[in-house]
Structure 1
Amino acid sequence: MHKALAALLSAALVASHAASLTAADASGAWVQLTPAGTFAGRDGRGPYDAGDKSDMEQIVARTRQLAGSTDLVVDYDHQSVFAAVPGVGGTAKAAGWIKELQVRAAGIFGRVEWTEAAAAAIKAGEYRYLSPVFLHTKAGRVIAIRMAGLTNTPNLDLVAVAASALLPNNNPTGENMDKILSALGLAKGTNEDGVVAAINAYLTSSTAIAKAAGLTETAKQEDILAAVNSIVSDRTKFAQAAGLAATAKSDEIVTAVQSAIAGKVDVTKFVPIAAVTELQTRLNTLESTVGNDKAEEAVNSAMKAGKLIPALKDWGLNLFKADPTKFQEFVGSAPVLTSPQLLTPKKDGEAAELTEAQLAVCSAMGITAEDFKKTLKAEAKA
């Protein structure tokens, strides 16, 4: 895919806007590659549009993605283009390499590191201008910077001829274009808009893959490839560990791992949830039974000791179940009542006045004398 894109970009080269170089630039300097906004070539081609700062940042990002791990080349007289044209020739030697790209108010700039030969040629005045080459849409919108060339005739007819030989009227045709379309998975006869759409789709998918792999949008090709290979390797290991083929789907891997975990539980350390629930229910039932037995025993003992009248048995049971300590405190402070004290003679079916001991019981239990009388009366009838 990258080779196809390189071929496409080479076929769509357009030279424009020349930067004048001085002897001081020979040691390596920042040079302008495109102006900001709308501009045109001196030969009448254009207009082209690099947009505003945000647009130029996108151009730089696409350029870095397309270049991958390679630097952008600066050749002599665009021989990288001529070398691709039968009968023209050209050695396409590098004059320098663009190491960095930067967006400024005036446009996109690149930091060039020159070869010794190119630096000497610039110092000697043999070459004076830098002519950038970029990919653009049919409407003139700049997509990405491809390269640049040392030249003495910026925006040259030579470059226009080279570009026209591969891309006449900005619409590639012939065998070269068929190869490009095939590499991009497009049908023969696809126009420039279709080609540009395919390139943008590639750039978008590349960015998406970088993000999915935990990398930045501007990650280089080798970084993306390394991250994806690592993920695929890990996935393969998981599949094999689960006893599946390396090509198993993610859902199959997850299911297999879950099944393996479920089948290898150490029964000496873990028990099923249902068993724990049943055990808890039984413990609660046993605890309740034991509590009832203890309450019954405590209340009966209090009644035998004359600390609690039979009519208050249910009250005593409830108190013991709710708070055994309070029940014991009551029993400990309650006076011992004798049978005559508990059952005083009645007059005309009414309970007699309470004795001091009975009043003490009322006070200890928090009930009124009248309620206690009613209780005695009910017991007498029984």
Structure 2
Amino acid sequence: MHNALAALLSAALVASHSTALTAVDAEGDIWLQLVPAGTFTGRNGQGPWTTGDKASMEQIAANTRQLAGSTEPVIDYDHQAIFSAVPGVGGTAKAAGWIKELQVRDDGIYGRVEWTAAAAISIKRKEYRYLSPVFFHEKTSGRVLAIRMAGLTNTPNLDLVAVAASALFPLNNQTGDSMDKILAALNLAKGTNEDGVVAAINAHLTSSTAIAKAAGLTETAKPDEVLTAVNTIVADRTKFAQAAGLAATAKADEIVTAVQSAIAGKVDPTKFVPIAQVTALQDDVKKLQESVTADKAEEAVNSAMKSGRLAPALKEWGLDLFKANQAQFETFVGSAPVLTTPQLQTPKKDGEAAELTEAQLAVCSAMGITADDFKKTLKAEAKA
């Protein structure tokens, strides 16, 4: 699939920026600039093309990795991979090197290049001097999509690669079978033009990025990493479905419902109690505790009143204090003075006469008047 996409994208590729090579570049792996940052044009003025800012270049690098898959982008001689190795025709194109790794820098996208022995000798002998990259871009906006490959050449020329692109993937009957196969791989109708092809490829790249994110990976994840992550998720999902007694193809909602039902129906009664029963038990315990506290409060307050350490008028206050803080109530009662009999009498409401003391009752007896008459006299005196 990746090979088909790579071939299809060649319909929109160009090569413009060239990197001069020296003999030093042939010594082991070397980082070389593949495309510049920002907007640029070809030597003959074609373009402009743009790689955008650093974030955009990271996306280009990610697209390049996805298109390459498990392979490494090739560096050939004079774009022979485009000129000589024509699908359906034949031809060979030896590699001069391989792009082992991509790196985004402030001034562009770089590739770590590993040269072949023959290419290293050619560079040392100054038989080749320039690196000419080939990249895919949108036809109308010039936005660079991905880097396809690069070539060792001494004539980095836009026209050269434009002809090569046409030879590789002409939209005519000479390679119509290949075109049909690639269009079918992209689910496109026969005869779809370049704009439709590029749009489909963009959608493919966007979908790949979305899948990587959904699988918990970064946007730059390689296809094999994405595949591994997705396979793991599918395998785990299948295990959950089977454990719930469902088919491996069961939907997520069905799996969740089945698991919840299984848990609800297989609770060990020796270890777990329904939440409703626990709540009811807690309510009962709370009511019992409140009842016991109320009884103790009533008993303590009555005892304090009987001993003369709490006035009857303060009974409700004493009950509330005992319930709120028993220790504080006991401290208050322990330090309170003992009240006299008149002080302990409950004051009457307005309009009512207080009960007579023993001394007053003795006066009534001596004078031969009733207690009620004496109360009336006391009330009249109080008003006066």
TM-score by length of 1: 0.76
Which residue matches 2:136?
A: 135
Q: Is the 8 A contact 1:95 1:115 kept in 2?
A: yes
Gaps of 5+ in 1: 336-355
- For residue 182 of structure 1, give the secondary structure of its aligned residue in structure 2: helix
The letter of the residue matching 1:5 is L
The letter of the residue matching 1:31 is L
Find the aligned partners of 2:182 and 2:88 in 1 and give their Cα distance. 21
Q: Is the 8 A contact 1:302 1:331 kept in 2?
A: no
The letter of the residue matching 1:16 is S
- For residue 122 of structure 1, give the secondary structure of its aligned residue in structure 2: helix
TM-score by length of 2: 0.76
Residues 160-213 of structure 1: per-residue CA shift (max 9 Å, x gap): 44322244589x983332222211111222222221111111111111111222
Which residue matches 2:341?
A: 358
CA shift in 2, pair 1:87/1:125, >3 Å: farther
Query: In the alignment, is residue 122 of structure 1 matched against residue 123 of structure 2?
Result: yes
Q: Is the 8 A contact 1:296 1:317 kept in 2?
A: no
The letter of the residue matching 1:137 is E
Query: In the alignment, is residue 145 of structure 1 matched against residue 147 of structure 2?
Result: yes
Find the aligned partners of 1:294 and 1:106 in 2 and give their Cα distance. 85
Find the aligned partners of 2:300 and 2:23 in 1 and give their Cα distance. 111
Find the aligned partners of 1:51 and 1:261 in 2 and give their Cα distance. 55
1:282 offset after TM fit, Å? 3.5
Query: In the alignment, is residue 264 of structure 1 matched against residue 266 of structure 2?
Result: yes
Which residue, 161, 164, 167 being the options, matches 1:165? 167
Find the aligned partners of 1:129 and 1:288 in 2 and give their Cα distance. 93
Q: Is the 8 A contact 1:137 1:192 kept in 2?
A: no
Aligned pairs (5 A) from 1:36-185: 36=37, 37-42=39-44, 46-54=46-54, 55-85=56-86, 89-104=90-105, 106-139=107-140, 140-155=142-157, 159-168=161-170, 174-185=176-187
Find the aligned partners of 2:247 and 2:200 in 1 and give their Cα distance. 34
Identity rate, percent: 66
The letter of the residue matching 2:31 is W
Find the aligned partners of 1:18 and 1:149 in 2 and give their Cα distance. 10
Which residue matches 1:196?
A: 198
Residues 90-139 of structure 1: per-residue CA shift (max 9 Å, x gap): 32221101123344555433231101111112223333332211112223
CA shift in 2, pair 1:279/1:196, >3 Å: same
The letter of the residue matching 2:252 is S
Q: Is the 8 A contact 2:14 2:158 kept in 1?
A: no
Residues 313-349 of structure 1: per-residue CA shift (max 9 Å, x gap): x9647735741663797499675xxxxxxxxxxxxxx
Find the aligned partners of 1:24 and 1:300 in 2 and give their Cα distance. 106
Which residue matches 1:352?
A: none
Find the aligned partners of 1:105 and 1:287 in 2 and give their Cα distance. 73
Aligned residue pair count: 352
Which residue matches 2:367?
A: none
1:218 offset after TM fit, Å? 0.8
The letter of the residue matching 1:188 is K
RMSD: 4.0
Residues 17-44 of structure 1: per-residue CA shift (max 9 Å, x gap): 43332222222433332344221244x6
1:279 offset after TM fit, Å? 3.0
- For residue 179 of structure 1, give the secondary structure of its aligned residue in structure 2: helix
The letter of the residue matching 1:250 is A
The letter of the residue matching 1:176 is S
Q: Is the 8 A contact 1:4 1:184 kept in 2?
A: no
Gaps of 5+ in 2: 359-370, 373-384
Q: Is the 8 A contact 2:19 2:33 kept in 1?
A: yes
CA shift in 2, pair 1:378/1:259, >3 Å: farther
CA shift in 2, pair 1:166/1:12, >3 Å: farther
Which residue matches 1:8?
A: 8
Find the aligned partners of 2:43 and 2:65 in 1 and give their Cα distance. 25
CA shift in 2, pair 1:81/1:318, >3 Å: same
- For residue 33 of structure 1, give the secondary structure of its aligned residue in structure 2: strand
Find the aligned partners of 2:224 and 2:119 in 1 and give their Cα distance. 30
Which residue matches 1:235?
A: 237
CA shift in 2, pair 1:158/1:90, >3 Å: farther
- For residue 190 of structure 1, give the secondary structure of its aligned residue in structure 2: coil
The letter of the residue matching 1:248 is A
The letter of the residue matching 1:149 is G
